[in-house]
Structure 1
């Protein structure tokens, strides 16, 4: 093989390597910028919380954190029970919707008896 073919091969390989590294650098730079933007948003939210506002910008009074250790046991039991009742209710509603949907799929007519434009 002539000497210039090796020169072309190595030049192409080096250019391919440089292109790959440049592409990866661009991808990493974009990820870094997105991360910096997310951290800036997080800092803004933390600053809003420290000022006593809400991170969404609403001016209504935020609910204060109250550790469960300092709550009366009966009050905590009622809160836990109401949360579980609500969760069971939502689960039952979802089950009912799924059963209704399944029945519609099983008992749907395969042939439409009337033309869609005739009413």
Structure 2
């Protein structure tokens, strides 16, 4: 193989490497510009949220330690009663659905082809 063929081969390899590096640099530059644009949008959004947070005072949590124990017991009992009634109601609905499935009247069924 003559010496100039090696020069051509290495020349094409170096040009290919440079083309690849330029392509990846351009690709990375575009990604960086897009990321900066999104960062600007995010900064504007956080500034707006910070402004909204400063306008509304924070709500203080309710501390049950300072409440009347009788009132706390009454609320607890009421909540327990409400949960029990809800469970009983849901159970009644489930039992009624089950009875409908087991004891359905065939004469009252609708014909799907009608």
TM-score grouping bracket, smaller chain normalisation: 0.3 to 0.5
With normalisation by structure 2, the TM-score equals 0.47
With normalisation by structure 1, the TM-score equals 0.45
Q: Which has the higher helix share?
A: 2
